[in-house]
């Protein structure tokens, strides 16, 4: 390749990128596409339509893989239609399809057919967080007896580092119990306003938390020191902290007074 050819190829890059954006945009659009040709210069709108349909169907199936309990609640037909509508409006932001569907729960919350079932979007939030936790980075959970090694005068200022797989979700409309009831096999239902998602070992665990413990956990996971996080009405500190540590919600702690 000579210098002129190299320069010509470089000059074509913005054009190629623009065409790629047009192609990707056409896949996500409901409108028909014109100007698509095969390798022989023949119109290929029908082929593109088939390809586009395959892309949307693959995204629908990816959502089905993540949101199994949500689909049981909605029914196969309703879920499939909702998943396709979401896929048509939301392209993956990552080549890793397990990350797809971050906004699906919020999308379900806009559907008139689910207005009377607010727990369904909550179930979807739990399921998405559960899959993300499964693929999160590995890290050893904090030992439950770790606080016994902290000097008493430093205990109140101790901060906790959340485990990479940990997430806290508020699900006050009954999402946790609905999620548990729609597992295979069903799990014992736990009426609780919040769900703690952790992966202490190899399996993801979803734990129901009472409101005071959830508020306490939320503060700790946001970086508040222990004494400040414990300023929650009706909190049983020992029980709440034991529950969080036992579930593997944290992976480290920092004694700020030792700095």
pLDDT tens digits, one per residue of 238-256: 999 999 999 999 999 875 5
**Omega into 185 within 30° of 0, i.e. cis?**
yes
Compute the distance between CA of residue 28 and CA of residue 49 in angstroms, rounded to an integer.
11
160-207 pLDDT tens trace? 999 999 999 999 999 999 999 999 999 999 999 999 999 998 899 999
Provide the pLDDT for residue 195: 98
Q: What is residue 137's predicted lDDT score, i.e. its pLDDT? A: 95
pLDDT at 71 > cutoff 60: yes
CA distance linking residue 143 with residue 244, whole number of Å = 11
Separation in Å, CA 115 to CA 106, 126, 241: 12, 19, 36
Task: Give the whole-angstrom CA distance, residue 165 versus residue 142.
Answer: 13
pLDDT score, position 2: 53
Per DSSP, the residues of 163-193 read PTT-EEEE-TTTHHHHHHHTSSSPPPP---S
Q: How far apart are CA 50 and CA 56, in angstroms?
A: 10
pLDDT single digits (tens) 144-157: 999 998 999 999 99
- Name residue, tokens 């949500």: 70
Mean pLDDT to the nearest integer, 77-90: 95
What is the pTM (predicted TM-score) of this model? 0.81
Closest to 214 measured CA to CA, from 188, 198, 235: 235
The Cα–Cα gap between 234 and 199 comes to: 27
Closest Cα to residue 91, out of 100, 79, 81? 100
Number of CB atoms found within 10 A of residue 7's CB: 10
202-222 pLDDT, tens digit per residue, is 899 999 999 999 999 999 999
Confidence band (pLDDT; 50, 70, 90) for 91? confident
Please list the alpha-helical segments (H only) found in 32-173.
45-66, 68-74, 76-89, 104-108, 119-134
| pLDDT value of residue 30 | 52
The number of angstroms, rounded, from the C-alpha of 203 to the middle of its chain's C-alpha atoms is 16
pLDDT of 60 over the 50 cut: yes
Q: Give φ, ψ of 72 to 5 degrees.
A: -60, -40
């Amino acid at each position: 390749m000579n210098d002129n050819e190299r320069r010509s190829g470089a000059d074509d890059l913005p054009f190629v990128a623009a065409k790629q954006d047009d192609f990707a945009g056409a896949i996500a659009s409901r409108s028909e596409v014109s100007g698509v040709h095969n390798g022989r210069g023949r119109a290929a709108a029908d082929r593109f339509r088939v390809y586009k349909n395959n892309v949307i169907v693959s995204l629908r199936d990816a959502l089905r893989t993540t949101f199994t309990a949500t689909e049981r609640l909605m029914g196969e037909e309703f879920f499939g239609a909702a998943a396709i509508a979401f896929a048509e409006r939301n392209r993956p932001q990552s080549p890793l399809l397990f990350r797809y569907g971050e906004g699906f729960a919020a999308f379900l919350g806009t559907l008139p057919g689910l207005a009377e079932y607010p727990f369904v979007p909550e179930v979807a939030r739990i399921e998405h967080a559960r899959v993300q936790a499964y693929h999160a980075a590995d890290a050893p959970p904090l030992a439950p007896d770790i606080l016994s090694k902290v000097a008493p005068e430093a205990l109140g200022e101790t901060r906790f580092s959340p485990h990479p797989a940990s997430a806290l979700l508020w699900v006050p409309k009954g999402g946790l119990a609905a999620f548990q009831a729609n597992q295979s096999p069903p799990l014992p239902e736990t009426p609780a306003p919040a769900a703690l998602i952790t992966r202490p070992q190899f399996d993801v665990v979803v734990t129901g938390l009472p409101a005071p413990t959830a508020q306490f956990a939320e503060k700790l996971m946001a970086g508040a020191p222990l004494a400040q996080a414990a300023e929650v009405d009706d909190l049983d500190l020992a029980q709440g902290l034991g529950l969080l540590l036992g579930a593997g919600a944290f992976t480290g702690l920092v004694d700020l007074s030792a700095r």
